[in-house]
Amino acid sequence: MNRFLTISLTLFLFLFVYIGCKKPYNPPEISVDNKFLVFDGSLVNSADSPSVITLSRTVKLTDTTQAFYPETGAAVSVEDSTGGNYVFLETPNGMYKSPPLSLNPADKYRLKITTSSGDQYASDYVEMLQTPPIDTLLWQQQKDVSIYLNTYDPSKQVKYYRWDYVETWQNRAPLESELGVENGLIYYVSNRPLDQKYNCWSTDYSTDLLLGSSVALSDAVINKFPLAVVPQNSVKINIRYSILVKQYAITEKAYQYFQILKKNTENLGSIFDAQPTQLIGNIHSVKNPSEVVLGYFTASSVQQNRIFISKDEVNNWNYVYTGRGCDVTTIEQNPANYLLYNYPDTGFSAYYFSGTTGLTLARVSCLDCTLQGGTNQKPAYW
């Protein structure tokens, strides 16, 4: 309910932004470097997927050279209330991973961190929540395509949720090449289907904090929660699109923390905005309890659901390829010619053999879909 209020007020206020104006703002004052410890991630109770935790440090707002400052060399583990200990192993970029863990939902868990400089941090003990399954994912088109979620907790225990999602979509190179080039040798794609560069699958991750609550409703129902929007004519539904949504149950306190985090970053800008508030998470320095530590440690099982949307299911969808033109040229079949043609710029690649003596070339950007991002390996679920 609160969300509706905020959205509407923001809408209205943008009217006054229109009358008034909005300009970029970068005051000089905000250059203090605090380097607070930041925790991101959660403990996932799952027999098949690992838990991933990221540790980093805050950077100055004005620091454009390094936006992410990973905290490496820390010892990270999770402890249960009966003394069991689960160690996380360091991977690059401040990521720490556990093996898939099947945990007792009746137990309580806490996070322990010892940084490379020897500072110790611990979270409060948190409950292991049971996430109910996602009821349905649905979508509607009104120019743009909006994706919604319905969920329902039959046990009526879970009232707060967090979601994230992964979008995957198929994209194609403008030209389908018969030939591939590897180490200066031409091969037929039909002989090596895994090396095709015509069909690709790109992936994007959610960047907004998606939070929902059924606390104001008489039933434990989340109805038509808006998860994502695909703008009209986006490349994402040029062929086929898929979204995988993961649902996590969270506690009321965690919900409040994420709400503040969200409000502090995503919702500001109207004249009735709440004051930015202090983020108080559940992770503390053992030695100095007043030290600022950002992040909220949560633990739950995870539920997921996936839907597909094909281009023939949407209306008025006209993706326009905006890359360089795809004009082609034909050269004689002879390696020297090919190398010469591509010298000094390797922008061209083999397209097809024309007749017995000719080789038709086209720009690589027109032949290789991986250059638009994504992988040329078809995902298992596709």
Site for other proteins in 193-232 (CB under 8 A): 205-209, 216-219, 221, 223-224
| H or E element in which residue 360 lies | strand 358-363
Specify the residue, 12 or 188, whose C-beta has the smaller distance to other proteins: 12
Q: Is 125 exposed, middle or buried (0-12, 13-18, 19+ CB in 10 A)?
A: middle
Smallest gap from residue 118 Cβ to other proteins (A): 22
What is the closest distance, in whole angstroms, from the C-beta atom of residue 300 to other proteins in the complex? 15
Which of 268, 286 has the CB closer to other proteins? 268
Minimum distance from residue 140 beta carbon to other proteins (Å): 12
In the window 141-200, what residues touch other proteins (CB under 8 A)?
Answer: 164
Query: ω before 344 within 30° of 0 (cis)?
Result: yes
Measure CA 210 to chain center: 12
How far from 241 is each of 123, 192, 208, CA to CA, in Å? 39, 26, 20
Contact residue for other proteins among 264, 305, 330, 372 (CB under 8 A): 264
Range in contact with other proteins (rule: CB under 8 A) among 231-239, 251-259, 307-315, 336-344: 251-259
Site for other proteins in 12-31 (CB under 8 A): 12, 15-27, 29-30
Per DSSP, 238 falls in state S
The residue from 137, 147, 149, 294 that contacts other proteins (CB under 8 A) is 294
Residue 52 beta carbon to other proteins: minimum distance, rounded to whole angstroms: 12
Contact criterion met (CB below 8 Å) for 296 and 248: no
Among 46, 52, 57, 358, binds other proteins (CB under 8 A): 57
Task: Give the whole-angstrom CA distance, residue 161 versus residue 225.
Answer: 11
Instruction: State in angstroms the smallest separation of the CB of 23 from other proteins.
Output: 5
- Shortest Å distance, C-beta 122 to other proteins: 19
Query: What residues numbered 305-334 form the site for other proteins, per CB under 8 A?
Result: none
Pairing relationship of beta strands 120-123 and 75-80 according to DSSP bridges: unpaired
Residue 60 interacts with other proteins (CB under 8 A): yes or no: yes
Which of the stretches 232-240, 253-261, 303-311, 352-360 binds other proteins when contact is defined by CB under 8 A?
Answer: 253-261
First-to-last alpha carbon distance for the chain, in angstroms, is 37
Minimum distance between the CB of residue 5 and other proteins, rounded to whole angstroms?
7
Choose one: 79-87, 133-141, 261-269, 308-316; the region binding other proteins (CB under 8 A). Answer: 261-269
- Max distance between CA atoms of the chain, in angstroms, equals 78
- Please count the residues of this chain forming the interface with other proteins, following the rule CB under 8 A: 78
Distance CA 359, CA 378 (A): 29
| Closer of 228 and 350 to other proteins (Cβ) | 228
Applying CB under 8 A, among 155, 278, 316, 322 the residue interacting with other proteins is: 278
Q: Does the protein bind other proteins through residue 34 (CB under 8 A)? A: yes
Paired with 75 in beta bridges are 114
The encoded tokens of residue 94 equal 């401040």
53: alpha, beta or left? (left if phi > 0; alpha if psi -120 to 50): beta
Q: Does 343 contact other proteins by CB under 8 A?
A: no
How far, in Å, CA of 201 to CA of 380, rounded?
A: 11
Residue with smaller CB distance to other proteins, 274 or 339: 274
Per-position b or e across 78-96, b if 16+ CB within 10 A of its CB: bbbeeeeebebeeeeebbb
